[in-house]
């Protein structure tokens, strides 16, 4: 006679904090400098100038001043800047998350660090341990290569580790410094689109199954989560490695793929967990760009402009790759809506990440 197994404990989001660099890039200034850089190219900057107007971005944050983009930079210099600024932003975000959760660094058992815009060996978690006094035996999981999908899938990996170790507290760190990938001699449309979209930022979250009082019991519940990869889609999104840095890869078909391919994947994900789209109270997507948001609203049957928090984050911070969806989640939680939230994101692979967040 077999013993019936109880359901695994449900992870909860005990804290979520964000951080951005000090430099503000206003879109009007970006357009003026981009014209200086790209206008000499055949066909010129002006052929693609509407990209900046149509991005619906007012400003972004950058770890380097706007004059930096007018000069040439090698891979080594870019990565050194990544390590310096990524560590600083993660320290700020991690301290914010620990303060929200009312935890000390020694209370953290696992650190999950997600980033795809720079290379860190030792990993970013180890670098943080030089500044924040985490325990020497803390477990570390660095994750590279998820791109824009890293916010949702990183949160899913942190939740899975918390569920596997119910007494553990997991600190999720996500940082992207996309501005450092700009290559001034790259006249490709992908690079020009990136200059109209990309910003820098970081986020940190504390995830745990521990029942440590009313604060934990009233925290948002994480899960279920899932992902889907489309075959023959490796060239839709990602990086190519060039001599002077990471070269962005964007397909112009991304909005169309969202509009035509995402809904069946989301419906199948929800059905596996006995849910339908009608039972979703709020949508928390990664705002990859204005056209992607339009496609997402069409995909989910929302009125145009209905993804309010995602549009506000895109307007004020741009596309920060993996970090962006966590900014949108923070905005949604600050608005104090209860109910079932659907997090979605798309990244290299070509991959969709999905998660349900239940807010009491």
pLDDT tens-digit series, residues 103-148? 999 999 999 999 999 999 999 999 999 999 999 999 999 999 999 9
Look at residue 282 and tell me if it is in a domain: yes
Question: Order of strands across the sheet with 351-359?
Answer: 139-143, 110-114, 169-177, 200-208, 12-19, 221-229, 351-359, 339-347, 282-285
- Beta carbons of 240 and 232 less than 8 angstroms apart: no
Does residue 152 sit in the same domain as residue 230? no
Q: Which residue range(s) make up the domain with 261?
A: 218-359
Does residue 168 sit in the same domain as residue 279? no
| Tokens coding 291 | 């056209």
Does residue 210 sit in the same domain as residue 226? no
Q: What pLDDT band is residue 34 in, cutting at 50, 70 and 90?
A: confident
| Tokens coding 235 | 């060239």
pLDDT on residue 1: 37
Cβ-based neighbours of 6, under 8 Å, separated by 6 or more? none
Residues involved in catalysis = 148
Q: Return the closest-CA partner of residue 159 out of 97, 125, 209, 109.
A: 209
**Better pLDDT: 45 or 297:** 297
Does residue 88 sit in the same domain as residue 166? yes
Does residue 164 sit in the same domain as residue 231? no
Q: What pLDDT band is residue 5 in, cutting at 50, 70 and 90?
A: low
Q: Judge whether residue 48 has pLDDT over 70.
A: no
Does residue 225 sit in the same domain as residue 203? no
| Tokens coding 18 | 């964000």
Look at residue 202 and tell me if it is in a domain: yes
Look at residue 224 and tell me if it is in a domain: yes
Q: Judge whether residue 4 has pLDDT over 60.
A: no
Final residue of a structural domain among 215, 235, 262: 215
Does residue 232 sit in the same domain as residue 93? no
pLDDT on residue 113: 98
Half-sphere exposure (Cβ direction) of 108: Cα atoms closer than 13 Å: 35
Look at residue 310 and tell me if it is in a domain: yes
Compute the average pLDDT of residues 249-267.
Answer: 87
Final residue of a structural domain among 215, 246, 278: 215
DSSP codes joined into one string, 234-282:
TTSEEEEEETTEEEEEE-TTHHHHIIIIIHHHHHHHHHHTT--GGG--E
Q: Is the peptide bond before 245 cis (omega within 30 degrees of 0)?
A: no
Q: What pLDDT band is residue 44 in, cutting at 50, 70 and 90?
A: low
d(CA 98, CA 90): 12
Does residue 226 sit in the same domain as residue 145? no
Q: Checking DSSP bridges between strand 12-19 and strand 200-208, what pairing results, if any? A: antiparallel
Q: Judge whether residue 3 has pLDDT over 50.
A: no
Look at residue 6 and tell me if it is in a domain: no
**SS3 of residue 146 by DSSP:** coil
Does residue 294 sit in the same domain as residue 145? no
DSSP codes joined into one string, 291-330:
HHHHHHHHHTTPPTT--HHHHHHHHHH-B-GGGHHHHHHH
d(CA 205, CA 105): 13
**Better pLDDT: 71 or 92:** 92
pLDDT on residue 42: 47
Q: What pLDDT band is residue 250 in, cutting at 50, 70 and 90?
A: confident
Look at residue 5 and tell me if it is in a domain: no
Q: What pLDDT band is residue 43 in, cutting at 50, 70 and 90?
A: low
For the chain, where are the alpha helices, taking DSSP H only?
27-38, 50-54, 75-101, 124-128, 150-164, 189-197, 214-217, 254-257, 263-272, 290-299, 308-317, 324-334
Other C-beta atoms closer than 10 Å to the C-beta of 335 total 10
Does residue 321 sit in the same domain as residue 249? yes
Q: Which CATH number characterizes residue 170's domain?
A: 3.40.47.10
Does residue 192 sit in the same domain as residue 255? no
| Tokens coding 94 | 């991690």
- Beta carbons of 18 and 97 less than 8 angstroms apart: no
Look at residue 7 and tell me if it is in a domain: no
Number of domains present in the structure of the chain: 2
Q: Judge whether residue 2 has pLDDT over 50.
A: no
Q: Judge whether residue 340 has pLDDT over 70.
A: yes
Does residue 189 sit in the same domain as residue 207? yes
Give the Å distances, CA to CA, from 321 to 49, 105, 145: 22, 27, 11
Overall pTM surpassing 0.75 (yes/no): yes
Compute the average pLDDT of residues 57-77.
Answer: 93
């Amino acid at each position: 006679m077999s013993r019936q197994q109880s359901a695994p404990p449900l992870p909860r989001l005990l804290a979520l904090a964000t951080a951005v660099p000090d430099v503000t890039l206003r879109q009007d200034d970006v357009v003026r400098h981009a014209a200086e850089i790209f206008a000499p190219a055949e066909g010129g900057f002006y052929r693609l100038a509407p990209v900046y107007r149509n991005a619906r971005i007012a400003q972004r944050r950058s770890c380097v001043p706007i004059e930096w983009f007018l000069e040439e930079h090698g891979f080594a210099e870019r990565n050194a800047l990544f390590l310096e600024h990524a560590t600083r932003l993660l320290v700020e975000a991690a301290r914010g998350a620990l303060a929200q959760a009312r935890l000390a660094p020694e209370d953290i058992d696992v650190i999950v660090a997600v980033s795809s815009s720079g290379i860190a060996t030792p990993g970013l978690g180890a670098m943080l341990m030089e500044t924040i006094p985490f325990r020497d035996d803390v477990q570390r999981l660095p994750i590279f290569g998820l791109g824009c999908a890293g916010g949702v899938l990183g949160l899913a990996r942190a939740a899975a580790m918390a569920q596997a170790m119910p007494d553990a507290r997991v600190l999720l760190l996500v940082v992207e410094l996309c501005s450092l990938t700009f290559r001034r001699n790259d006249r490709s449309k992908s690079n020009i689109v990136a200059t109209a979209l990309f910003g820098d930022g970081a986020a940190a979250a504390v995830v745990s199954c521990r029942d440590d009082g009313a604060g934990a019991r009233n925290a948002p519940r994480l899960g279920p989560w899932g992902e889907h990869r489309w075959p023959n889609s490796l060239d839709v999104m990602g990086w190519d490695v060039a001599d002077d840095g990471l070269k962005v890869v964007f397909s112009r078909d991304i909005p169309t793929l969202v509009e035509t391919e995402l809904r069946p994947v989301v419906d199948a994900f929800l059905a596996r967990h006995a849910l339908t789209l009608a039972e979703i109270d709020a949508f928390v997507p990664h705002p990859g760009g204005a056209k992607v948001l339009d496609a997402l609203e069409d995909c989910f049957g929302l009125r145009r402009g209905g993804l309010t928090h995602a549009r506000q984050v895109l307007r004020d911070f741009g596309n920060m790759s993996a970090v962006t969806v966590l900014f949108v989640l923070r905005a949604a939680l600050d608005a104090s809506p209860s109910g079932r939230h659907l997090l979605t994101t798309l990244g290299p692979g070509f991959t969709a990440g999905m998660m349900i967040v239940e807010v009491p």
